[in-house]
Amino acid sequence: MEKHMAVCPYCGTGCKLNLLVEGGKVVGAEPLNGVTNEGELCLKGYFGYDFINDTKILTPRLRNPMLRRSRDAAFEAVSWEEAIQYAATKLSAIKAKYGPDSIMTTGSSRGTGNETNYVMQKFTRAVLGTNNVDNCARVCHGPSVAGLQVTLGNGAMSNSIPEIEHTKCVLVFGYNVADSHPVIAKRIIKAKERGAKIIVCDPRKIETARLADLWLPLNNGSNMALVNAFANVLINEGLYNKEYVANHTEGFDEYKAIVDKYTPEYAEAITGLPAEDIREAMRIYAAAPSATILWGMGVTQWGQGVDVVKGLSGLALLTGNLGRPNVGVGPVRGQNNVQGSCDMGVLPTEFPGYQKVTDPEVRAKFAKAWGVESLPDQIGCRLTDVPHLAETGKLKAMYVMGEDPAQTEPDLALVRKGFEAMEFVIVQDIFMTKTAMFADLILPATSWGEHEGVFSAADRSFQRFTKAVDAKGDVKHDWEIISLLATAMGYPMHYNNTKEIWDELRELCPIFYGVTYEKMEGLGAVPWPCRDLDSAGSKYLYEGNVFQRPGGKGLLFATEWRPPRDQLTEEFPLILCTVREVGHYSCRSMTGNCAALQTLADEPGYVTMNPKDAKALGIRDQELVWVSSRRGKVISRASVTDRTNKGAVYMTYQWWIGACNELTIHAVDPIAKTPEYKYAAVRVEAIADQVWAENHVQQEYAKLKGGLSNAVSRAVKKAPAYA
């Protein structure tokens, strides 16, 4: 049996593992003693590898480039030459006719790795000539980046994952660590065993709420009010660190003026929390000699996400919990490499290494290195702008790599209209997906396990992963495909391996310069900033309490609480909040093709609800129900549990039948443009004929699966001899 070192492709914890290979097939995974995982893996890490082997449980792997010359035609398998030539001709024509800003590309925060993302944004900027490149951070931690960049100067986790178990207080806000990052959950449990106090702010009784010293089940949509009340208590009870605030922060007076009205009593009405609990939480937080705030989608997926992020960083600033070990602010990145795609500049605002596209010196540096005269200076459009821009005719072509927006974006009906309105859509992926069904051209790439590269874990650590098996079929590495396309469009681009790409980008990004492949050999993990060849990187940011802002001080920021956008009415009386579950990842194209994970959870997924709501609607546990909003209607299975608060229901977003994003609203944060996935008004209805409903789910599921796999098998059957 061979063993090949890899980094788990499922979450930002960045667990190191060995893929076990027998006869060219991956047959198992075993944990390695990586820096972040120390010999542990979770459900997905242990049992989430068999998708590589093309199990076809959910969807088939892509094996050939596939093209359809008109939208009503079927896909046909074509040669790489034809595929690349076709794409180059189309993109060049659209660029010539409508201008570079009519084309949009995406990076991928998933298995492809940092090098590919670097190449994708280089292609977008240097070859297409636009900053229209984005990644799915937009729909997750975009607000964390936008918010923290303003208040502290850096959008990432301030401290490292291993430090969590040494902090004396963990404030968990809108973050279901047990389901999102099980191996980080262990750190929190260990911290508690070492005497740390755990405070959890979440409407649901999530696993960490059960283990917490204090659980604050706030009303859905009241985050800003609670964070302001926290600040109010710290200030009015004199719990804040006056010296730290004086020396290392600015904006205190305005800040104090805004939070002044948010007394715990005032916040009680908005948050539904007893004023005394709000006080108690801050007394615990402020008393701890070291304290860490961790948050997730419960903070960011709101119309007011950026403000709340800024507010949370304010709590750390007020108490001086930054700039040293075992403290800090932690927006814990969900997808395995969403930190990486931001690091690599797959963002409409930034070049790799967080260098602004609006800075002429930066542009000149990149233009010179890439051998082009100039680079675009306008900020590009965001992923969440796409449906609107496509419908109004501003976007004409889209090149989607390794993402499935037709499953993961809000208000899917709107997304579909957007895709239909485009003139040309390329989807580059490892699986046939719902998004690929909208493509004109499908480009098949190698999967995690079939290529090597570097990922960024949630705590900024760069780690290498290696190839375990050879890819089957006529597929290429993502970065090879993009290079071929660039060359065909008249910009010769060629790399022999990922290390060449890495070394090119290191030279261009001062904060990554010291992170060489050699340092990341084996179990090596190097957290950026790492500016020198002899540096081991930075476990924590803001050393000496110097913030990366003009003047070097942290900004205290508060603003008024705004209620959520969607309106509860008699017709739609319940709040729908989308969440995730431990066994499935992202759009499920990977985990849905893993036998173990699909065994534990399959269509149509669950809508969890409180027993009181269920009883009022005549719904029993495990029954199929209709869930509808102003935007759509889907079938799901009721899970009736006391852990869910009354008045709200929760669905995970990876199901095709129980697709909660048919229901969610396209209301976005004004700055980060992140959608309000956490609050849509819905109605839940019992279904009298359960037998019909069960059959309906099976039929619809079979139809969708059949549609995707037929699209591939029909194309391949007609494949000429070169395939």
Partner 1 sequence: MNRFVTANPSKCIGCRTCEVACALAHSDGAGVEGLAPDTFKPRIRMVRTADVSTAVMCHHCEDAPCVNACPNNAIVYRQNSVQVEQERCLGCKNCVLACPFGVMDVVTVPAVRSFAGMTLSLGVKAQAHKCDLCVGRDAGPACVSVCPTSALTLMDREAMDETLRRRRERAAQEAAEVAA
Contact positions toward partner 1, by CB under 8 A?
Answer: 27-28, 40-43, 46-47, 49-50, 53, 55, 178-179, 182-183, 185-186, 189, 205, 207, 210-211, 582-583, 594-596, 599-600, 602, 641-643
In the complex, what is the shortest distance from the CB of residue 721 to ligand SF4, in angstroms, rounded to a whole number?
41
Structure tokens at 140: 């997750």
Provide φ and ψ at 26, rounded to 5°: -75, 125
Q: Does 140 bind ligand SF4 (CB under 6 A)?
A: no
Per CB under 6 A, contacts with ligand SF4 among 20-39 are 37
Q: Does 11 bind ligand SF4 (CB under 6 A)?
A: yes
* Residue 10 contacts which entry, partner 1, ligand SF4, none (Cβ below 5-8 A, type-dependent): ligand SF4
Nearer CB in complex with partner 1: 164/582: 582
* Residue 641 contacts which entry, ligand SF4, partner 1, none (Cβ below 5-8 A, type-dependent): partner 1
Q: Does 42 bind ligand SF4 (CB under 6 A)?
A: yes
In the complex, what is the shortest distance from the CB of residue 493 to ligand SF4, in angstroms, rounded to a whole number?
32
**CA proximity to 225, closest of 275, 259, 180:** 259
Q: Does 346 bind ligand SF4 (CB under 6 A)?
A: no
In the complex, what is the shortest distance from the CB of residue 209 to partner 1, in angstroms, rounded to a whole number?
10
- Coil, helix or strand at residue 216: strand
* Residue 594 contacts which entry, ligand SF4, partner 1, none (Cβ below 5-8 A, type-dependent): partner 1
Nearer CB in complex with ligand SF4: 207/423: 207
Cis before 60? omega within 30: no
**Would the CA dihedral through 698, 677, 222, 235 be positive or negative?**
positive
Nearer CB in complex with ligand SF4: 10/86: 10
Cis before 352? omega within 30: no
Q: What spatial distance separates the first Cα and last Cα of the chain, rounded to whole Å? A: 31
Answer whether 526's CB lies under 8 Å from 140's CB. Answer: no
| Whole-number Å distance between alpha carbons of 47 and 419 | 34
Contacts of 223 (CB under 8 A, 6+ apart): 173, 174, 298, 299, 302, 304, 308, 561
- Single out the segment in contact with ligand SF4 by CB under 6 A; choices: 11-19, 147-155, 401-409, 662-670: 11-19
Identify the residue whose tokens are 């002899």.
534
Torsion of CA 91, 93, 97, 101, to 10 degrees: 10
| Whole-number Å distance between alpha carbons of 544 and 533 | 22
Nearer CB in complex with ligand SF4: 15/148: 15
| Whole-number Å distance between alpha carbons of 145 and 348 | 13
Per CB under 6 A, contacts with ligand SF4 among 176-195 are 181-183
Nearer CB in complex with ligand SF4: 185/486: 185
Pairing of strands 16-22, 25-31: antiparallel
- Coil, helix or strand at residue 445: strand
* Residue 642 contacts which entry, partner 1, ligand SF4, none (Cβ below 5-8 A, type-dependent): partner 1
- Single out the segment in contact with ligand SF4 by CB under 6 A; choices: 41-49, 65-73, 364-372, 480-488: 41-49
Q: Does 448 bind ligand SF4 (CB under 6 A)?
A: no
Q: How far is CA 671 from CA 82, 102, 290, 345, 628, in A?
A: 41, 22, 31, 18, 29
Q: How many residues bind ligand SF4 (CB under 6 A)?
A: 14
* Residue 210 contacts which entry, partner 1, ligand SF4, none (Cβ below 5-8 A, type-dependent): partner 1
* Residue 411 contacts which entry, partner 1, ligand SF4, none (Cβ below 5-8 A, type-dependent): none
Nearer CB in complex with partner 1: 11/526: 11
Q: Does 13 bind ligand SF4 (CB under 6 A)?
A: yes
Could you say which DSSP state residue 367 is in? H
Structure tokens at 194: 């070492």
Question: Which member of 32, 35, 45, 542 binds ligand SF4 (CB under 6 A)?
Answer: 45
E strands of 489-614, at which residues? 525-527, 554-555, 574-579, 606-609
Q: 72: buried, middle or exposed (CB in 10 Å: 19+, 13-18, 0-12)?
A: exposed
Neighbours of 81 (CB within 10 A): 12
Neighbours of 707 (CB within 10 A): 12
Identify the residue whose tokens are 């060359």.
487
Nearer CB in complex with partner 1: 39/492: 39
Question: Which member of 41, 139, 140, 511 binds ligand SF4 (CB under 6 A)?
Answer: 41
Contacts of 45 (CB under 8 A, 6+ apart): 8, 10, 15, 17, 29, 31, 37, 183
| Whole-number Å distance between alpha carbons of 507 and 629 | 50
Answer whether 194's CB lies under 8 Å from 165's CB. Answer: yes
Nearer CB in complex with ligand SF4: 44/363: 44
* Residue 8 contacts which entry, ligand SF4, partner 1, none (Cβ below 5-8 A, type-dependent): ligand SF4
Nearer CB in complex with ligand SF4: 7/137: 7
* Residue 211 contacts which entry, partner 1, ligand SF4, none (Cβ below 5-8 A, type-dependent): partner 1
Which amino acid is residue 699, in one-letter code?
Q
Q: Does 8 bind ligand SF4 (CB under 6 A)?
A: yes
In the complex, what is the shortest distance from the CB of residue 162 to partner 1, in angstroms, rounded to a whole number?
15
* Residue 582 contacts which entry, ligand SF4, partner 1, none (Cβ below 5-8 A, type-dependent): partner 1
CA 280 to mean position of chain CA atoms: 32
In the complex, what is the shortest distance from the CB of residue 192 to partner 1, in angstroms, rounded to a whole number?
8
Identify the residue whose tokens are 């965001």.
382
Nearer CB in complex with ligand SF4: 15/395: 15
Structure tokens at 214: 């204090």
Nearer CB in complex with partner 1: 41/401: 41
Structure tokens at 179: 């389901």
Nearer CB in complex with ligand SF4: 244/585: 585
β-sheet bridge partners, residue 428: 401, 443
Nearer CB in complex with partner 1: 198/668: 198
Question: Which member of 5, 6, 10, 264 binds ligand SF4 (CB under 6 A)?
Answer: 10
* Residue 500 contacts which entry, ligand SF4, partner 1, none (Cβ below 5-8 A, type-dependent): none
**Using CB under 6 A as the criterion, which residues of the chain lie in contact with ligand SF4 when the complex forms?**
8, 10-11, 13-15, 37, 41-42, 44-45, 181-183
